[in-house]
Amino acid sequence: MAALTVLPSASLCIRCQASSSSTSTREPYNLNQTLTVPEGTPAMKVMTGAVNALFSFQPFFKFASGQARKMIIERGSEIGYPWEPELARLRQFDWDAELKTVQNPDIEYPEYYLKPFHAYDTGNLSWDAALEVELAAKSVHANVFDPERKVLDPNGDIRLRDSYHEKLLQMLNFTPRAIVDLGCASGLSTFGLHQVFPDAHVIGVDLSPFFISVANFRVKEQAESLQDQKSPVHFLHGAGEYTGLPSGAFDMVSMSLVCHELPRSATKEILEEAHRLLRPGGALTIMEMNPYSPLVQNMVKNVFAFTAFKATEPYFDDYRTFQLERAIEQRGFTFPTQAESSPRHRTMVAIKK
């Protein structure tokens, strides 16, 4: 497949910073050992509780999220990806017409999805979120290969996702032919999976019809450049909790940087759906922030860093204290094989029993 002229996307976070190779001298840790939920010390609980209380105060939330957004935009320019030229290009298109072709009118949005998110008052249910997500990912992941978060790399997001694919290839013992990408946003994770597994049929699913509209637009852009209207990549407006796709029809279900954006109740429901979608022996694969990482735990202990993070990631506390790997096992998968994708991220692969 020809390289797409798109910017990395999927899910945003101010400090989902990572690298797949690091010169850091930090002590290594074993991701497959018995782990405890990193709830932290009593003082840490008081601090995180105070930050959470601050964000329930709407004027503070608006101020903090506005500052976060400003930082993301400024960093984009700093790394050579100014927002306005690309946004001006994208805004020329008839997005409302595109929306009508993809939107499922029967979907009822869960309450957690209707809250302000990623510095947008309407969360992912807006054109601003959909058109900016790829630019924002370029910006927020620019320093993923520097544990000190000082060196900016314009290709940081691409390299982070490549590290996920590298770990997948190491941990899978089969080649998937049918893949579902849950929480695909505007499709970069979906296109990436197809590049890794070019013979696979890949379906991206997202709850935002705005994101799916942009994803479909990218498919059309590529089809025009290749003079080929057929694509093995398709997108569906649907909920990860119930996609409507057939049971047992897929070899692999992938989630890339999705779970930390959900309350744990939603994550559990999505694990149920992933189990339903997979054939026996199929693989659930996840790339996520690693709550056991010393660097992630240090971020939580730093009131300023944690406050900046909470400005865009309201469900991080619920994710951070949730033993995802245990929930996966309890649903009927093998205990996940895990590998460190970066100082702050892990790749997990679990097989449906």
Confidence of residue 18 (pLDDT cuts 50, 70, 90): very low
Determine the pLDDT at residue 37.
Answer: 53
User: Is 15's pLDDT higher than 50?
Assistant: no
pLDDT band at 66 (very low <50, low <70, confident <90, very high): confident
Per-residue pLDDT, 140: 84
Contact between 284 and 352 under an 8 Å Cβ cutoff? The reply is yes
Q: Which of 22, 232, 16, 1 minimizes the C-alpha distance to 138? A: 16
* H-only helix segments in 141-198: 156-171, 188-196
188-246 pLDDT tens trace: 999 999 999 999 999 999 999 999 999 999 998 887 665 555 678 999 999 999 999 99
Determine the Cα–Cα distance for residues 187 and 161; give it in Å rounded to an integer.
13
Contacts with 265 (C-beta within 8 Å, 6 or more apart), sequence order: none
Q: Rounded to an integer, what distance in angstroms lies between the CA atom of residue 335 and that of residue 339?
A: 13
Q: Is the pTM of this model over 0.75?
A: yes
SS3 label, residue 289:
strand
| Share above pLDDT 70 across residues of the chain, in percent, rounded to a whole number | 80
Q: DSSP labels for 225-242?
A: HHT----SEEEEE-BTTB
Q: Please report, for the chain, the start and end positions of each structural domain, with discontinuous segments joined by +.
A: 43-352
Other beta carbons within 10 angstroms of residue 313's beta carbon come to 23
Q: Check residues 52 and 246 and name the one with the higher pLDDT.
A: 246
Predicted confidence band of residue 295 (pLDDT cuts 50, 70, 90): confident
Does the structure show a pLDDT above 80 at 72? Answer: yes
> Does residue 230 or residue 263 have the better pLDDT?
263
Class of domain 43-352: alpha beta
